[in-house]
Structure 1
Amino acid sequence: MLNRNAEALFWIGRYMERAENHARLIDVHYHLQAEDERMLEAGGPEEESADAPCKWTRIVDALGSRESYEAQYGSYSEPDVLYYTTLDRDNANSLVSCVSHARGNLRTLREKVPSELWDTINSFYLWLREKQPEDLMKESPHLFYGRIKEWTALFQGISQSVMPRENEWHFIECGRYLERAENTLRIIKAVGNAASGDGWNNAGAYPYLQAVLKSVSGYQSFRRYYADGMSVESLVEFVILNPAFPRSVHFAFHTLDGHMRQIELQDKQLKSAHDRIIRQVGKVTADLDCLEHEDMVIDRNGSIVGHLLEACQTLGTLFAKTFFRMGEASA
């Protein structure tokens, strides 16, 4: 089952989670745009300075695609950025490309996974590929991207309900939760960069962190924990460290650790490499367990988020070197 099949399963999990993240990034942008408009109405600056980054760069930067975007489009505009991140097949990380890659990988495994998974992802792809740029704005971007989140939730719900808890399941979930941790961190970093020069640690940053909460569907859950005791540090603490919130970085890494330990291997050499990955994941979870509220207060330069992002990238590389033969699946 390893090598080609393991890689395909891992990337099915990553690509479907990444598709959902694209929809959430759009939500982040619109929350921030609404806040920008509110500040203008309240007497804020009428326009950005000439050297200020365009607000649409928030999405492109979060995807790490600025160079590729600018080479293709040059300037930033709402229609171009929405098309590039959603429907542009020349962008390997656009939403339609992610769904297409996940579908292609699942096609090679149709005999190994329940048919309901194929039916769902195939229907999702067929629905999405027919969309045109004008469809993104026809009703509301919120409604369109909300539908994307519903499709990805349907896929996840069906996989939770029908897949046997065997290696195939655990590889998909490893990909999902590694991607989820990295995506949450990228959202924090992108919105933090959009805040003023002092980053999170200033009074004006609160609306930006509120946008982070809404982007991960965590606003109501946050209020249950903190009520009216809101602060910048509490918001970051919740998204990174809360052990019960399913989109927190803490929850994602601990769940990843659990799925890694459930993968069963017979080959001794491969099992040794597998144990190394478990130790690396364990180091990250130990770091998260040791972080406290005070650490968020003093982290003025975002070093904690940067460290965790590097850990995600290292784990992705280590996972590939252990289980995959590069090029045997669409990754």
Structure 2
Amino acid sequence: MMNRSAELLFWIGRYLERTENHTRLIDVNYHMRHELKGSADQQECVWERLVTTIGSEYSWNKSDDQLNETTALALLTFDRTNVNSIYTCIYQARSNMRALRQLLPDELWDIMNASYLWLKEQDIHNIVDQSPHLFYQRIREWLAGINGTADSAILRGQEWNFIQAGKYLERTENMLRLLQTVYSNLVQDRFSTIDQKQYNRMIILLKSVGGYEAFRKFHADDVTFEKIFEFIMLNSQFPRSVSFSLSSLETSLLAIKQHEYQLASLSDQAIDLTARVKEVLNGMKAEGDGLDLLQEMMNSCHQLDRTISENFFQEEFVEA
């Protein structure tokens, strides 16, 4: 496979996963914002922390607008200068798919294109005047359609493997960043990680990763950050856990190595790094090693991203 095609496929996986993650975070935080009782300043703090969680603080710092519910939704959804906005992610995923239409099923392109054209006609006023929850729910539904079509229609060849590699690397980073933000906020607010008074925050955290029902099967009503941290980091059955995501990433990289023989020795670097990150994760204590561990793993993910790029996407490593 041409290195440019592999890179575009990899980033399709990343952009779609990023869109799905950000849409759920925005939707859940909007839907449950009144559960976090407090002053107007505290409500604004919710949006400030959401902007940080999604990684859009740089774009916000360049803006002169005051951060509130409306401006936060506009920044995270429609801002074309924000590389992490929903619009930007969908636009980039669609652009990559358009360049690779000969490699992907037509029905996948049809859903992607129709979704982009619909989103292009929307603006923040449409959301606020109608229903933000229904708006983000619609995006989540057609993302489910895209993922379902990809799952049922794409051959399990290199196109699939590169999309999955991007998807699970992005998912790993998203989960680590979310835990970092919540953990930092608990420390900043001087709450214990097992403080039952933070029940509403913990419910929002679980719903933000789609893990509320799954968590309850393992821990019932023992809803503390300590248990949630362990669940999101280590649970091998939860598809959004860091452990599950890294195992799936490793599987995709091994499949790429198996099919791309000329890259076999090079791809070992990425596979070995993934294995080392998993070893660090599996060796953590059940109660969690705190912010240092999260930062260490985030740094490893960034290194893994660079290693994958150097191994698979650099022109000199791939036969034309």
- TM-score over 0.5 for the pair: yes
- What's the secondary structure of 1:247's corresponding residue? coil
Q: What is the aligned partner in structure 2 of residue 43 from structure 1?
A: none
Deviation, 1:201, is 4.7
Deviation, 1:159, is 0.5
Q: Which runs of 4+ in 1 moved over 6 A?
A: none
Deviation, 1:55, is 2.7
Q: What is the aligned partner in structure 2 of residue 250 from structure 1?
A: 243
| Residues 43-90 of structure 1 deviation map (CA, whole Å, 9 limit, x = unaligned) | xxx4659xx983321122113332321212342121111111101112
Please tell me the residue identity of whatever aligns with 2:33: Q
Q: Which moved more, 1:241-250 or 1:183-192?
A: 183-192
Structure 2 regions of 5+ residues with no counterpart? 316-320
In the aligned structure 2, how far is the partner of 1:107 from the partner of 1:113?
Answer: 9
| Residues 249-296 of structure 1 deviation map (CA, whole Å, 9 limit, x = unaligned) | 1111111111110112122xx3222011000011112222233424x2
Q: What is the aligned partner in structure 1 of residue 269 from structure 2?
A: 276
Q: What is the aligned partner in structure 2 of residue 315 from structure 1?
A: 304
Cα 1:242/1:131, change in 2 over 3 Å? same
Percent sequence identity over aligned pairs:
39
Please tell me the residue identity of whatever aligns with 1:316: D
Please tell me the residue identity of whatever aligns with 1:139: Q
Cα 1:305/1:34, change in 2 over 3 Å? farther
The reply to whether residue 152 of structure 1 matches residue 143 of structure 2 is yes
In the aligned structure 1, how far is the partner of 2:101 from the partner of 2:218?
Answer: 43
Please tell me the residue identity of whatever aligns with 1:266: Y
- What's the secondary structure of 1:96's corresponding residue? helix
Q: What is the aligned partner in structure 2 of residue 175 from structure 1?
A: 166
Please tell me the residue identity of whatever aligns with 1:173: Q
Match of 1:83 among 70, 74, 79: 74
Report if aligned partners of 2:270, 2:307 keep a CA contact under 8 Å in 1. yes
Cα 1:229/1:25, change in 2 over 3 Å? closer
Deviation, 1:112, is 1.1
Cα 1:199/1:53, change in 2 over 3 Å? farther
Q: What is the aligned partner in structure 2 of residue 212 from structure 1?
A: 205
- What's the secondary structure of 1:16's corresponding residue? helix
- What's the secondary structure of 1:92's corresponding residue? coil
Structure 1 regions of 5+ residues with no counterpart? 41-45, 327-331
Cα 1:32/1:304, change in 2 over 3 Å? farther
Q: How does 1:173-212 map to 2 (within 5 A)?
A: 173-195=164-186, 196-198=189-191, 200-212=193-205
Q: What RMSD, in angstroms, separates the aligned Cα atoms of the two structures? A: 2.1
In the aligned structure 2, how far is the partner of 1:305 from the partner of 1:316?
Answer: 17
Greater helix share, 1 or 2? 2
Deviation, 1:28, is 4.5
In the aligned structure 2, how far is the partner of 1:193 from the partner of 1:58?
Answer: 10
Report if aligned partners of 1:177, 1:253 keep a CA contact under 8 Å in 2. yes
Q: What is the aligned partner in structure 1 of residue 35 from structure 2?
A: 35
Deviation, 1:151, is 1.5
Cα 1:228/1:280, change in 2 over 3 Å? same
In the aligned structure 1, how far is the partner of 2:83 from the partner of 2:227?
Answer: 35
In the aligned structure 2, how far is the partner of 1:265 from the partner of 1:180?
Answer: 24
Cα 1:116/1:144, change in 2 over 3 Å? same
In the aligned structure 2, how far is the partner of 1:63 from the partner of 1:229?
Answer: 27
Q: How does 1:93-172 map to 2 (within 5 A)?
A: 93-172=84-163
In the aligned structure 2, how far is the partner of 1:56 from the partner of 1:209?
Answer: 16
